[in-house]
Amino acid sequence: MMAAPLAVLAVIPFLPVLDNGFVNLDDHANFLANPHYRGLGRAQVAWAWVTDWLGVYQPLAWMLLEAQYAACGLKPRGYHLTSLLLHAATAVALYASTRALVARARPGLAATNPTGVVLGSGLAAALFVVHPLRVEVVAWASCQPYLPCAALAVLAVLAYLRAAEGPPSRRAAGLFGVWVLFALALLFKPAAVPLPAVLLVLDAYPLRRLGGGPGRWFGPPARRVWAEKVPFLALSLIFAALAVQAKRGSLVALERRGPPARVAQACYGACFYLGKTAWPTGLSAYYPVPHPFDWRAPTYLACTAGIVAASAALFRLRRRHPGPLAAWVAYLVVLAPTSGLVAIGSQITADRYSYLATMSGVPLVAAAVAQLTGPGRHRAAIILGVAAAGLGLVAVLAGSSWALCRSWRDTATLASHALANGWRDPEILLGLGWGLEERGDIAGADACYCQALRGDPFHVPALVGLGRVRLRQGRAANAAALLREAVGLEPDMPEIRNNLGTALAAQGRHDEALAEFTAALRLRPDFPEARKNLDLVRARARRGGAGPGPPMPPGTPSR
């Protein structure tokens, strides 16, 4: 009854993404500059299973993207349409799992008010799927793998509820089905790594297979529950190791961000997503870590104290109200890998990290609605009032999501939106510069790159961007100097070597240009642009010609 309308509702607020292009937050590197995924041939499929392109191991996601390339090439609309459909599928799966969780957690309520459970589950799922915090995952093509991962993880939870309460003779087969869904989710995105811990939370509540009395945590029945999780834990550890290995280049060293700072960042993130769920304003594609990051600042201390206080309060209420504690633990567990405890990159939070984590609160909202609309006086009026208020809130959130989707139209619009929300950082200025360069506004791009370098004089992508626009302005010598400085900071980046070779070739310095193109190919033998430039400059050198060098390739600043 609810599934089809919910699927439609999940799509409507995000329809503007169909007119959006790719943005230079990994989209350029993933699609426009990546020849490996183009098609569904044997070479492309094999590549999907061995690559950790841009620091992520996601073979099934690459196969899905390969299928999209086969269907629509490099037209962004096809990728965005796929994301819309995947978000709709996640909405239906979330509704089904929410309804099942409420029925198991509150069997009396499900028996006396089944209509309320359906209404509550549908309304809670609707509020989740139209929320502006979902925009990043749906609107950003490179973020698409989160969607099938989330849908499969939610289906795994639904399958686990059925397997755990099924007859013992069928339990092993049911658990194997859950394991397969878990494995598929991980192959789309390692974001599902915390699922075994979530299953243990479900064992405690609402399934009540753990806890609740002497010996219930580690007695013989409980040991069987723990033993069921061994295959899940093994799979989780394998993919966690693969994820860390893939991210090895962007891991922040412990001496740069110590344990207190990591805990403070994690607590800040947990509060941030709850706050933005309640009041979704000021959302941005980029939330930079402050420099310097002082974990003793009042904001971080208050967030840490708030998380500790909330955890203690919910623990004290666990016997009378176990549901909120279960949802809270699941929220923190799912959030943990991306919370900053393992420090990666330069963002303090990201909207996409809330997609899976905040699902844990959906059953609480559903149960509250079902409780409120239960049998009693004025029930019809209450149901009508709840439905009207809920649909009004859905409409407001959907309108906010519609508007936010437009900020993802292109790179310049996205960066401008972040700057308008007060986030000033070299990375954002870099994105704006690249977007303006893409539009042909070379003077504007030059100003952005210069401003980024004033904030961080050693920002390599800004040096490369400025060198690129200076070459387009005919200032080849200045471009070469900037790019040589970038090579000194990042000598193992083949793209920078290729850019420097292009600037040198534009000055007629063929021998030096050949050396840079050769170095680029040594660093990356399958670099077609560098190979083409090398052949072009060799031919020009044999003819003794000067003239302009090969075209400067576009930059690839990323998150």
| 537 in a structural domain | yes
Co-location of 340 and 443 in the same domain: no
**Residue 356's closest CA among 82, 146, 183?**
146
Residue type for position 58: Q
* Residue located via tokens 């954002």: 428
Instruction: Say whether both 444 and 537 belong to one domain.
Output: yes
Query: Has residue 415 been placed in a domain?
Result: no
The reply to whether 167 and 301 lie within a common domain is yes
What CATH number is attached to the domain comprising 458? Answer: 1.25.40.10
- Do the bridges between strand 347-349 and strand 287-288 make them parallel or antiparallel, or are there none, so unpaired? antiparallel
**48, two tokens:** 């999907």
Residues in CB range of 290: below 8 A, 6 or more apart = 348
- In terms of domains, do 247 and 337 share one? yes
Residue 511 lies in a domain: yes
What pLDDT score does 165 carry?
81
**What range defines the domain where residue 471 resides?**
424-543
Q: Please tell me whether residues 29 and 148 are part of one structural domain.
A: yes
Q: Quick one: 475 and 392 in the same domain?
A: no
Cβ atoms 437, 465 nearer than 8 A? yes
In a domain, 552, yes or no: no
Give yes or no: residues 22 and 131 share one domain.
yes
Q: For residues 372 and 509, state if they share a domain.
A: no
According to DSSP, the residues that pair with 287 across neighbouring strands are 349
* Inside any domain, residue 71: yes
Preceding amide of 288 cis, omega within 30: no
Residue 78 lies inside a defined structural domain of this protein: yes
**Are 194 and 269 found together in one domain?**
yes
**Are 206 and 278 within one domain?**
yes
At which of 378, 406, 434 does a domain end?
406
In this predicted structure, what is the pLDDT of residue 219? 80
Q: Is residue 457 domain-shared with residue 400, that is, in the same domain?
A: no
Which residues are registered as beta bridge partners of 349?
A: 287
Helix or strand run (H / E) with residue 349: strand 347-349
Beta carbons of 288 and 347 less than 8 angstroms apart: yes
Return per-residue pLDDT of the chain as tens, 559 residues: 788 999 999 999 999 999 999 998 889 889 998 999 999 999 999 999 999 998 899 999 999 999 999 999 999 999 999 999 999 999 999 999 999 999 999 999 889 999 899 999 999 999 999 999 999 999 999 999 999 999 999 999 999 999 988 788 788 899 999 999 999 999 999 999 999 999 999 999 999 988 766 667 888 888 888 999 999 999 999 999 999 888 876 666 555 678 899 999 999 999 999 999 999 999 998 888 887 888 999 999 999 999 999 999 999 999 999 999 999 999 999 999 999 888 777 789 999 999 999 999 999 999 999 999 888 778 888 889 998 999 999 999 999 999 999 999 999 999 999 888 877 788 888 889 989 998 889 999 999 999 999 988 998 999 999 999 999 999 999 999 999 999 999 998 998 999 999 999 988 888 899 999 999 999 988 888 888 888 888 887 777 654 445 555 544 444 4
Q: What is the pLDDT of residue 556?
A: 43
Question: Does residue 228 sit within a domain?
Answer: yes
Can you tell me the distance from the alpha carbon of 360 to that of 217, in angstroms, rounded to the nearest whole number?
23
- pLDDT at residue 557 in the model: 40
Domains in the chain: how many in total? 2
Both structure tokens of 341: 């405890």
The answer to whether position 316 is within a domain reads yes
Instruction: Point out the domain boundary residue: 354, 377, 406.
Output: 406
Give, as one character, the DSSP assignment of residue 289. P
| Whether residue 44 is found in the same domain as residue 111 | yes
Note the pLDDT of residue 253.
57
- In DSSP terms, 344 is beta-bridged to 251
Return the amino acid letter for 65. Answer: L
Instruction: Specify the DSSP class assigned to residue 344.
Output: B
Which of 406, 437, 465 is at the close of a domain? 406
